[in-house]
Amino acid sequence: MRHREATYAEIVRVSRELLASGSELSLRAVAAGMGVTAPALYRYVSNYQELVDLVAFEIDKAVTDTYREATERFPDDDPAAKLVVACVLFRNWGLQHRSEFGLVFANPVAATSYSRRELMTQWCSGLFMNGLLVQAWRKYDFGYPTPEELGPELVAILSDPLMPIDPADIPEGEPGLLWLFNSGWAALYGVVTLEVFGHLDPRVVESGAMFVQTIREWIRRLMPDEYDRLDALVVAELRQARSAQP
Residues 107 and 145 both lie in one domain:
yes
Rounded distance between C-alpha atoms, residue 96 and residue 128, angstroms: 21
How many other β-carbons are positioned within 10 Å of the β-carbon of residue 129?
24
Q: Is pLDDT above 70 for 212? A: yes
For 170-203, the DSSP string reads: S-TT-HHHHHHHHHHHHHHHHHHHHHHTT-S-HH
- In contact, 192 and 177? CB cutoff 8 Å: no
**pLDDT of 119 higher than 70:** no
- Tell me: do 192 and 238 sit in the same domain: yes
Residues 26 and 64 in one domain: no
- Same domain assignment for residues 112 and 234: yes
Summarised one tens digit per residue, pLDDT across range 90-101 is: 999 999 999 999
Confidence of residue 3 (pLDDT cuts 50, 70, 90): confident
Q: How many domains does the chain have?
A: 2
Same domain, 132 and 192: yes
Condensed to tens digits (0 to 9), the pLDDT of residues 74-85 reads 999 999 999 999
Q: Quick one: the chain helix, strand, coil %, rounded to 5? A: 75, 0, 25
Q: Which domain does 41 fall in, by range? A: 1-46
The Cα–Cα gap between 150 and 153 comes to 8
Instruction: Assign 145 to helix, strand or coil.
Output: coil
